């Protein structure tokens, strides 16, 4: 067995990391198809305020992160529903407010190491509690996505048509926002709050270079995320690098490789014509 898999903390990191690699791009496909990729970026920064609050008060940080990010997501959805023309501006305001609160709370805490692990991700600090929370919650998210797959699919392309088809648009949008917020909060330990939005979007961008259908996009997105997380964790261990940054950098590399494959495929098709 390779050395990297012999340590308990690395085994925990791989378990949590692979669960995140399953749910982040799964949610990301629907998010990007809805044209809402910036929401993931906003919520990831708001979740940091919850982490800082948890560390300051001695509460397991993922709990307040989920609570605060869900509340922020519901506010975003309400604004998007009422004044869609200014939704992007509202995201900027909520992101700034979240970061402002997080900065103040961080300045009040003496546990800078704990906070940094949630900002950029950490291998050594993944705990048994993280496993007990992340794995069941990730499985619930996967089940919910597949239970409501048809509704989310309709919403990804046209909410107006979805209403005409009898899809409960408002209810599914709220559920989707809760799922996004929970996914981001669960991902903070491995990838970090400053980088999780990239793990949601970059594997999807990679998949879009290769996929020929919506289901293929989901499949390739998950495969790209799993590859990035596993290779990133291995590289971070052996090279003593930050895991979050390593995972995201490798995600970008895989995107570039997929773009090259797409270019060669299109060039071959052009030459055959």
pLDDT at 111: 65
In a domain? residue 234? no
Interval 81-93 mean pLDDT: 71
CB atoms closer than 10 angstroms to residue 227: 16
pLDDT at 270: 59
In a domain? residue 260? no
SS3 244: helix
In a domain? residue 68? yes
pLDDT at 269: 66
What pLDDT band is residue 94 in, cutting at 50, 70 and 90? Answer: confident
Q: What interhelical angle do 214-239 and 243-272 show, nearest 10?
A: 140
CB atoms closer than 10 angstroms to residue 160: 8
In a domain? residue 218? no
Our CA angle for 129, 52, 196, nearest 5°, is 70
121 has pLDDT over 80: no
pLDDT at 217: 94
Residue bearing the bigger pLDDT, 115 or 215: 215
84 has pLDDT over 70: no
pLDDT at 220: 96
In a domain? residue 233? no
Our CA angle for 140, 129, 66, nearest 5°, is 55
Which range of residues forms the domain containing residue 144? Answer: 3-194
pLDDT at 185: 87
Phi, psi angles (nearest 5°) of residue 7:
-95, 135
The per-residue pLDDT for range 209-250, each reduced to its tens digit, is 999 899 999 999 999 999 999 999 999 999 988 888 899 999
Alpha-carbon dihedral 121, 140, 221, 116, rounded to 10 degrees: -10
Strand positions, DSSP E, the chain = none
In a domain? residue 255? no
In a domain? residue 180? yes
**Per mean pLDDT, which range of 164-168, 180-184, 231-235 is the poorest?**
164-168
Query: What does each C-alpha distance from 133 to 119, 121, 207 come to in angstroms?
Result: 19, 17, 29
pLDDT at 273: 58
CATH number for position 92: 1.10.3470.10
| C-beta of residue 178 within 8 angstroms of C-beta of residue 73 | yes
Instruction: For residue 92, give both structure tokens.
Output: 């900027």
d(CA 177, CA 27): 10
Instruction: Please give the model's pTM, rounded to 2 decimal places.
Output: 0.87
240: left (phi over 0), alpha (psi -120 to 50) or beta: left
Average pLDDT, the chain: 85
Count of structural domains within the chain:
1
In a domain? residue 47? yes
The per-residue pLDDT for range 22-78, each reduced to its tens digit, is 999 999 999 888 877 778 888 888 888 888 888 888 888 888 999 999 998 888 878
86 has pLDDT over 90: no
């Amino acid at each position: 067995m390779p050395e990297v898999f012999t340590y308990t903390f690395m085994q925990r990191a791989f378990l949590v990391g692979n669960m995140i690699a399953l749910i982040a791009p799964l949610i990301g496909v629907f998010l990007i198809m809805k044209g809402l990729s910036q929401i993931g970026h906003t919520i990831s920064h708001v979740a940091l305020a919850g982490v800082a609050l948890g560390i300051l008060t001695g509460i397991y940080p993922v709990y307040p992160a989920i609570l605060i990010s869900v509340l922020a997501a519901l506010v975003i959805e309400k604004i998007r529903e009422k004044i869609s023309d200014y939704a992007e501006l509202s995201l900027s305001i909520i992101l700034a407010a979240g970061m402002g609160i997080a900065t103040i709370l961080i300045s009040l805490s003496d546990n800078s190491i704990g906070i940094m692990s949630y900002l950029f991700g950490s291998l050594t600090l993944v705990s048994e509690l993280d496993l007990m929370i992340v794995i069941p919650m990730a499985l619930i998210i996967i089940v919910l996505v597949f239970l409501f797959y048809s509704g989310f699919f309709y919403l990804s392309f046209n909410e107006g048509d979805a209403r005409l088809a009898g899809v409960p648009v408002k209810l599914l949008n709220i559920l989707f926002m809760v799922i996004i917020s929970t996914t981001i909060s669960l991902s903070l330990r491995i990838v970090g709050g400053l980088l999780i939005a990239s793990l949601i979007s970059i594997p999807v961008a990679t998949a879009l270079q290769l996929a020929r259908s919506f289901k293929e996009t989901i499949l390739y997105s998950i495969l790209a995320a799993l590859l990035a997380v596993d290779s990133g964790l291995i590289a971070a261990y052996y090279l003593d690098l930050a895991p979050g940054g390593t995972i995201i950098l490798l995600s970008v590399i895989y995107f570039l490789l997929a773009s090259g494959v797409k270019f060669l495929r299109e060039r071959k098709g052009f030459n055959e014509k």
